[in-house]
Chain A
Amino acid sequence: MTLRADIPDETFTGILAKAFRNTAFVTGFVITLLILAMAILSYVWTPYDVTRLVIADKTQGPSLAHWFGTDHFGRDILAMIMVGARNSIAVALVAVGIGMGVGVPLGAFAAARGGLVDEALMRVNDLVFAFPALLSAIMITAIFGPGAVNAIIAIGIFNIPVFARVARAGALAIWPREFILAARAAGKSSTQISVEHVLPNIATLLLVQGTIQFALGILAEAGLSYLGLGAQPPMPSWGRMLFDAQTRMVVAPWMAIFPGMAIVVTVLGLNLLGDGIADILDPKSRRQR
């Protein structure tokens, strides 16, 4: 009589009910939703036009007219944060997409083949992993020129080994299971088995890693645009706003506080979301609840 850990009570409503009892998940989910809503809203409405400079209103503190104050060109900070969210999310999302799209098949393939192929792929992986991501991103943007697209590619490439590793580790744990053996005995090819049996069973792992990489992507994008290698003016971006605020910290602290807060809150929200998902879907933590 053993207690089985891996019996999933996996009805959709069951998971949903569990999700809404999990504080981390709910908090993270709400924050992420708010940031997303803000970014989407910015397409149809912003309090002020972010490209119009109103020198008369420059470096004003928070007020009823400008909730988060204005910058040194008189642009509304709230409006800039809203538009900047668009940029941050797009860069991070596409970068995660690149990482997953290339990394997961690579990792799954390495796990399925094993032997020399696995060894070779993973050593190349280590090589890419060995470069500090931000430094290499700087190198790439320095060669191909600054801009949002190059930032996406740079961050995306460094997501690949992360996903390849996670996918490979997860797949290696699934491969020796008996249902895989049964599928092999039924004559399925390793590609088919990877798609039908392995990937669905490591999906939660990848989902959690995805939210973490998403948060890291937002940080990386902010870092790059702070260095002037990300989205170019007049397109506002959070990192750029921090850079502009740097020299005016003493006279106009709101210029740094609000974009900084935006980054912190977004990353926090995504991390909570990832933690929450891991908790909900992990059978081990499930039993204790």
Chain B
Amino acid sequence: MSLLEIEDLSLTIGGARILKGMGISVAPGEIMGLVGESGSGKSMAALTVMRLLPHAARATGRVSFDGIDILAASEDQMCALRGDDIGMVFQEPMTALNPVKTIGEQVAEGIRWHSGATRAEAEDRARKMLDRVGLPEAKFPLSRYPHELSGGQRQRVVIAIACALKPKLLIADEPTTALDVVLQAQILDLLRDLVAENRMGLLLISHDLAVVTEMADRITILRHGEVMEAGDTAPTLSAQLHPYTRQLAQASMHVPARPKTHLADTAAKPLLEVEGVTRDYRGRRISLFRRAPDVRAVDDVSLSMAAGQSVALVGRSGCGKSTLARMVLALDRPSSGAIRFRGETITGRSEAELAPARRDMQVVFQDPYGSFDPRQKVERLIAEPLHVLEKWPTRAERREMVAHALHEVGLDQRDMDKYPHEFSGGQRQRLSIARAIITRPKLVVADEPVSALDVSIRAQILDLFASLNQKLGIAYLFITHDLTVARAITDEVLVMHEGRIVERGKTNDVLDRPQSEAARALVAAAPDLHRAIARRMQEQG
């Protein structure tokens, strides 16, 4: 008997058809993986089960949970179900918790509401639940506030809230997408254990095929609101009978072709040298006269890059890699140490003196939504770096250059008269790249440039990065926590941990035979589709 059974579910929101005859089922104690790219309707399917759809949504079909017809249930019935029998874990642990309530209150809230327990009883159970998810009393008393916790710890609190009443079904919508790989592995382990302990059904929603393969017993692949393929995880993914399944699997393992690889040539003058750079942030003021000790974000880091070389800087979130990138871009000043670009020191220079260096040094950010001013047209946005040219080009020249840059990243030159919101995430990342290459830089610093993108789009963007590296000889400093990205397009890798570089070497050497503790943890935690399928094959036969 299935716990959750969805049949022929169709959903329209204001005329747009989100789901078209979608079906899925989850048995008690089973992990069902729901995979799809953005816009495939997977989150909406989850919200339908919770009946938390936007007002304009109309759902038809059959959704039954534990014998209850969800679509016909009254709001009172749903309130009784939500949080008690069905728990939900959201993607963004930063916004899923109420910032003005303690974690104890937030976990106990649901317990009191659904079971009618007294405050003391509820707090007692909340305490046990927080212990269970790995937040022990000594370090995490109930009186902690969400802002005092890190992202991974917050996600544990969210899981504690969702599982506090031992729900029959847990829905986890991209529970680890906002976390780094090591935290991701820990959270996935926790979810797996909770499912086994309580015989919960888990509906795991993700865009990451590798994560789902490692976790799920069965898998459903969704595209544009329709189920493409469904079945046991291992046979489905190893046979890859459906073309879309194959396409997704290949995109997740995609490695761009790079005939020429540049390895550090010690004889040539390096393009970028970082020497003993340290960055301290002043401690937070804890009282009128006292400050917390300074935080050292980057600690005595040295590195050098040759022209045309592609280097990955990998590490867990908060290890200081983005701070280092900002200092390389001269957007932040090191507390000590020196950074030289093409042999010239760039630390402590004025903006005017930096102009020549800025021409040859550009940046691509992670978030394709946030990196464009929403109120300017593409032409102006992409032409922005031209500002540092010695001679400000005429309007005609500028349009010519923008058109050329758009062409190089595979966009149409007519796109220059549009606003950024008219583009999809992948297209915007192409715009970011166009903006970065318009001045023909020697170095592009890319901060997690593909981690916000769907796998198929990610493969295309990686190809684009690789081809621009080949064609224009641009050197890349790739900042990422995703080892598949590092492996796909970089020659050398630097592993950063707590502000220091703990390991460096050729990408394949480091990732295949990591020496340092930090690198080993990263490699072990990184989801890998090949490995996951192989392991599943053994288990499921």
Contact = CB atoms under 8 A, between A and B. Distances in A.
A182 B42 contact: no
B140 interface: no
Interface in B329-388: 329, 331, 351, 354-355, 358, 361-363, 365-367, 369-376, 384-385, 387-388
A10 B362 CA distance: 29
A178 B371 CA distance: 5
A189 B387 CA distance: 10
Contact of A10 (B174, B372, B374): B374
Contact of B384 (A6, A177, A183): A183
B321 interface: no
B513 interface: no
Contacts of B387: 186-188
Interface of B: 38-40, 42-43, 91-92, 173-174, 329, 331, 351, 354-355, 358, 361-363, 365-367, 369-376, 384-385, 387-388, 419, 421, 432, 435
Interface string A157-187: 0000000000000000000011101111111
Nearest to A200: B375
Contact of B385 (A1, A4, A8, A187): A187
Given A183-B384, A186-B384, A188-B384, A178 B354 contact: no
Contacts of B421: 7-10
B99 to A, nearest CB: 17
A188 B173 CA distance: 40
A173 to B, nearest CB: 12
Nearest to A186: B385
What are the 5 closest A-B residue pairs judged by CB atoms, nearest first?
Answer: A187-B358, A186-B385, A187-B388, A178-B371, A178-B370
Given A187-B385, A187-B387, A182 B374 contact: no
B384 A182 contact: yes
A6 B367 CA distance: 13
Contacts of B366: 178
Interface residues of A, number: 24
A75 to B, nearest CB: 50
Interface in A124-178: 177-178
Interface in A1-16: 1-2, 4, 6-10
Contacts of A6: 369, 374
Given A1-B42, A10-B419, A185 B373 contact: no
Contacts of B354: 187
Nearest to A190: B351
A186 B43 contact: no
Contacts of A184: 331
A201 interface: yes
A183 B363 CA distance: 10
Nearest to A188: B387
Contacts of B373: 179, 183, 196-197, 200-201
Contacts of A9: 421
A189 B351 contact: yes
Most buried by A among B43, B351, B374: B374
